[in-house]
């Protein structure tokens, strides 16, 4: 890859993983938030990132909890676009 292609790819990744909030079909705001986490014991505990409406997780097989905010954002973006949701702007 050329340096220009690498720079373009980096810009595309940065744009797709930047924090954004979506407005669902009911008018609720949906974004990526840190969830409680998983693990049976303190040693097994790991925080997770989820898509949520307020304090309520968006439950969908297409939106499983993720280990990174960026990965969860990419999944939420794709899900929201498929559902026809609009990006919320301030």
Summarised one tens digit per residue, pLDDT across range 55-77 is 788 989 999 999 899 999 999 99
d(CA 75, CA 31) in angstroms, rounded, equals: 11
Task: Kindly report the pTM of this predicted structure.
Answer: 0.79
Bridge partner residues of 33 (DSSP): 50
42: pLDDT strictly greater than 80: no
Question: Backbone phi, then psi, for 9, in 5-degree steps?
Answer: -65, -40
d(CA 23, CA 7) in angstroms, rounded, equals: 31
Q: 56-57 and 49-53: which strand pairing?
A: antiparallel
d(CA 53, CA 84) in angstroms, rounded, equals: 16
Domain range for 44: 3-88
Q: What is the pLDDT of residue 84?
A: 97
Domain count across the chain = 1
């Amino acid at each position: 890859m050329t340096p220009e292609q690498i720079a373009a790819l980096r810009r595309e990744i940065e744009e797709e993983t930047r924090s954004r909030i979506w407005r669902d079909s009911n008018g609720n705001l949906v974004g990526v938030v840190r969830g409680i986490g998983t693990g049976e014991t303190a040693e097994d505990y790991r925080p997770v990132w989820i898509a949520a409406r307020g304090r309520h997780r968006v439950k969908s097989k297409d939106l499983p909890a993720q280990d990174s905010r960026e990965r969860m954002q990419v999944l939420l973006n794709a899900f929201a676009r498929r559902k026809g949701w609009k990006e919320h702007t301030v």
